[in-house]
Structure 1
Amino acid sequence: MILAVLEVAVPVLYAIAIVVLTAYGGNLLWLSLFHANNETLREGPVPDPDALPTPDESWPTVTVQLPLYNEAEVAHRLIDACVNLDYPRSKLEIQVLDDSTDETVERVARRVAHWQDQGVDITHVHRDDRTGYKAGALANGLRLARGELVAIFDADFVPHPDFLRRMIPRFFGDDDLGMVQARWGHLNRDDSLLTKVQAFGLDAHFAIEQRVREQSDCFMNFNGTAGVWRRACIEEAGGWEHDTLTEDLDLSYRAQLQGWRFEYVPAVEAPAELPPDMNALRSQQFRWAKGGVETALKLVGRLWRSAQPWRVKLEGTFHLTAHFAFPFILLAALTHAPLLLLKGLGHGPGEIYFALMGFGLFGFVGFFLAQLFAQRALHPDWQSRLQLFPVFMAGTMGLSLSNTNAFWQALRGTDTAFIRTPKYGVGADDSWWQSRYAIAELPRVVWGELGLAVYSTAGLVVTVALGEWAAVPFQALFAAGFILITVSSLRQVFAVRQDRTVSAPASSPVS
């Protein structure tokens, strides 16, 4: 009886997973081919500042908002970078939107007072509660702001002095332009394998997804930081709302549905710090996944009821529902080896079924080409960087359990706090695990990932024993992904705990 059920259920579930993943891979394939057909040369060196427009009193007033929450390690660096933005003092306002509950408050207050004494228009806006989290802080700051344009930087960013000089002119003579987004750079890209893989994955978003969506007149999104908004656009779209964990994606779609146009500027890079530890990365990815699903549930229907062309609706749906792919990655991981075992026992669905499943390679090609074209567009040594692709794919699979949990929590409407990704302000020679913000508690999901590591490794042994050589690389990626995530989490938590047995932290780590 059980075998009869498995004979039907396993092939059906696996087929559903492959069909869905092929659809998302197919969308990436379209984005990649569009990019290849319209590819431009790699951006050259940063222009000489003397060749850029010179801001003067005729330029619009800009409010720079810096949302912070318990980020003592990097607040000083961020504030100083924004004070040094090359823009007329009379036209520049800086708001440090501080929801902190630790010594960040005191550090920020001291640094703000220092710059106020130097004549800088900078204010420290501290809230006693985190109502609305980041969205609430931004909305509160906007209420007090005097700028008609609003630039936003998260705590881990270090904008170059010419950032505003290169971004603000985009708004001149274009009253329909609501937001301009810069490309993220990475301060610590080469610090470790983990940071290299993160940068590798983000490159595809910024070099392919953002670029092509803008070029094809589809909806793109504000990335939460390193962008400039027209204040009127924010207000007309309904302002910052906090019913999702991705307030940036939410406002982006609401604004574009109101008719505002967005622009992406890949030539302007804003460098930032990547999470150097696996548990911080998992927490960040969980927030992005849950918030993305929440935003999709909120806005996909509104998108399809709008008067937008069908291609905008279709691409917008793929964009908003991107994190829906993770439950199907997990489903494929759970059913791949059992499917092969059924086949080996003579109970499989037959050769026609497996031939049809071979069309899933089109989805894989889409994932691969997006990474290939992104590296080629951004880096002269793109061929050597492609060696990271298998690790990136394995890591994506390894995070599928945590991100599937985020997906289900969003579907159930489970309320989740906005947990900021810890920022360490470290360089290659520093030890992030010595920071007060390093995560010392092992997330419960790690035990599930450990179980999947064992399960996938056993599946790999079965796949090899059956001689299913064509399936071995796929199964090996599942095993490697869950092993990588589990081992990294355990090792990094051990490092933090070991350090704290030697020296007590200055304050409690971020929850």
Structure 2
Amino acid sequence: MAELFLYISLFLIWFMLFYHMFLMQGGYLHYLKHPDQKKEWDKNPGPMPTFSVLIPAHNEEMVIEKTLDSMVAMKYPKDKFEVIVINDNSSDNTGAICDSYAEKYPYIKVLHTKPPNGGKGKSGALNQGLKVSTGEVIAVYDADNTPEPEAAYNLAIGLNNDEKAGAVVGKFRVLNANKNLLTRLINVETLTFQWLAQAGRWFWFKMTTIPGTNFAIRRSILEELGGWDEKALSEDTELSFRVYNLGYHIRFFPAAITWEQEPENLKVWWKQRTRWARGNEYVIGKYLMEFSKLENKKIGLDLFYFMFTYILFFGGILISHTIFVTNLFVDLNLTIGIVSYVLLLTGFLLFVTEVLLALSMEKGQLTVKNFFVVLLMYFTYSQLWVILVVYATFLETKRVLFKQEVKWYKTQRFKQGETKEAVKAALTAEERRREGRVNK
């Protein structure tokens, strides 16, 4: 019996490894292709739509100023640009800081929310902001983000040049990547996710998951969908499925770049990632139950991907680990022998190869230091994810069984140092040329 379970777990693990190899090929092909797409769209960007940026902010005094500075620096026609900060029941100086920017810049507006409508979490804050926004296009940035000056422009031309795109998703980079080992591991994780899962799925299937930040969606779609699901902890993933169901695709356009702060200690990371895992499991459960009612069955591809990742793949790893540890103390009479070690080593080499390929697509990331970070990542960070998913599954199962209320965890922020060089660098000659055109 133990050997049967071991074979099942190996099948699940290797199925996902091969699928990731397939996705990474697509990600690399998109990496080669997208600069030409960007050049083509720059030649004919189309008329800039009215553009509303929503920034949900709950107790964000530590980071909100730099976020608003980046909005001021955004190279978008200011007569078509508005920034709405939803000061969501903050108890610190977030509201006062935002009000001071609103007094200086007429395109920055502040919406102060209080209970019972305020303080319910990100989805609720975004729905409140949507009500007072006016743009044809709605973009979302988290309060710890410093998007690059052309981010809004790039998101807009993505929608202008792709009528079938319900939303356009940009790329995010880790602002505090070099802070400590944890942030280095997160940096590797985010780059791999974007070039493997986001770019790969876009290239092969024209599907990309809306992230929590740095994306733009057509207002008409949001209004048709009724805004964000306030029961979802991963409101971004849940929204993606509903956009797919309307028959639109979600485009990954890495020319739109933002820099965001990541957790700098394990406690904050654990709480944030647990929310993500629980949120994605909520989406899996919701759309598995409603699958027969969905109009666009292509959603099944992404539903299968999320289900395999959070249930089958992690389940396979957990079974494999359990059998391995048990066999150290109790002879399970396994006959697979040396084959299991060969598969383990090969899987490790595939993991390292995929991650290094993703790092090679970002300037300055394929370094000797990051090579050793990747080696360490397999045995530490990746294994920690297995434990986290088990814990998140327990919490989500308990919530469903006992009909508990969903509680939103707001990620703790850390005091920022100087803004990333890439964010605050002087405009290049090409950017200056483009600025004269875009800001007209």
TM range (shorter): 0.7 to 0.9
2:300 corresponds to 1:318: no
Counterpart code for 2:58:
Y
> Greater Rg, structure 1 or structure 2?
1
TM superposition shift of 1:276: 1.0
Give the structure 1 partner of residue 412 of structure 2: 422
TM superposition shift of 1:38: 6.1
Distance in 2, Cα, partners of 1:370 & 1:415 = 39
**SS where residue 124 of structure 1 aligns?**
strand
CA contact (8 A) 1:97 1:125 kept: yes
Counterpart code for 2:366:
W
Instruction: Provide, for residues 221-259 of structure 1, a one-character-per-residue CA deviation record: whole Å limited to 9, x for no partner.
Output: 111101111111222234210222101000011111111
Give the structure 2 partner of residue 124 of structure 1: 111
Give the structure 2 partner of residue 189 of structure 1: 177
CA contact (8 A) 2:206 2:249 kept: no
2:390 corresponds to 1:404: yes
Correspondence for 1:379 among 363, 371, 382: 363
Unaligned 5+ segments in structure 2 are 420-440
After superposing the two structures, state which structure 1 stretch, 264-273 or 323-332, moved more.
323-332
Correspondence for 1:223 among 195, 200, 211: 211
Counterpart code for 1:410:
E
Structure 1 residues 62 and 199 mapped into 2: Cα distance closer, same or farther (>3 Å)? Answer: same
TM superposition shift of 1:327: 4.5
TM superposition shift of 1:357: 8.0
**SS where residue 48 of structure 2 aligns?**
coil
Give the structure 1 partner of residue 325 of structure 2: 337
CA contact (8 A) 1:191 1:427 kept: no
TM superposition shift of 1:67: 0.6
**SS where residue 103 of structure 1 aligns?**
coil
Distance in 2, Cα, partners of 1:37 & 1:162 = 24
TM superposition shift of 1:391: 1.9
Distance in 1, Cα, partners of 2:330 & 2:189 = 35
**SS where residue 196 of structure 2 aligns?**
helix
Distance in 2, Cα, partners of 1:34 & 1:86 = 31
Distance in 2, Cα, partners of 1:308 & 1:365 = 37
TM superposition shift of 1:415: 3.9
Give the structure 1 partner of residue 436 of structure 2: none
Correspondence for 1:355 among 328, 333, 339: 339
Instruction: Provide, for residues 414-468 of structure 1, a one-character-per-residue CA deviation record: whole Å limited to 9, x for no partner.
Output: 5441101111132389xxxxxxxxxxxxxxxxxxxxxxxxxxxxxxxxxxxxxxx
Correspondence for 1:164 among 152, 160, 183: 152
**SS where residue 205 of structure 2 aligns?**
coil
Give the structure 1 partner of residue 352 of structure 2: 368
TM superposition shift of 1:87: 2.1
Structure 1 residues 62 and 369 mapped into 2: Cα distance closer, same or farther (>3 Å)? Answer: same
5 Å matches for 1:291-302? 291-302=279-290
Counterpart code for 2:189:
G
Distance in 1, Cα, partners of 2:139 & 2:232 = 21
Structure 1 residues 99 and 321 mapped into 2: Cα distance closer, same or farther (>3 Å)? Answer: farther
Give the structure 1 partner of residue 58 of structure 2: 69
Distance in 2, Cα, partners of 1:396 & 1:428 = 30
CA contact (8 A) 2:95 2:112 kept: no
5 Å matches for 1:423-502? 423-427=413-417
Unaligned 5+ segments in structure 1 are 1-7, 430-511
What fraction of aligned residue pairs are identical, expressed as a percent? Answer: 20
- TM-score w.r.t. the length of structure 2 is 0.83
After superposing the two structures, state which structure 1 stretch, 385-394 or 124-133, moved more.
124-133
CA contact (8 A) 1:282 1:402 kept: yes
Give the structure 2 partner of residue 462 of structure 1: none
Structure 1 residues 38 and 427 mapped into 2: Cα distance closer, same or farther (>3 Å)? Answer: closer
Counterpart code for 2:171:
R
Q: What is the aligned-residue RMSD (CA, Å)?
A: 3.1
Give the structure 1 partner of residue 245 of structure 2: 257
Instruction: Provide, for residues 160-200 of structure 1, a one-character-per-residue CA deviation record: whole Å limited to 9, x for no partner.
Output: 22222222122225433211111001211112111111000
Distance in 2, Cα, partners of 1:194 & 1:146 = 40
2:15 corresponds to 1:23: yes
Structure 1 residues 286 and 383 mapped into 2: Cα distance closer, same or farther (>3 Å)? Answer: same
TM superposition shift of 1:307: 6.1
CA contact (8 A) 2:233 2:275 kept: yes
CA contact (8 A) 1:14 1:335 kept: yes
Aligned length: 409
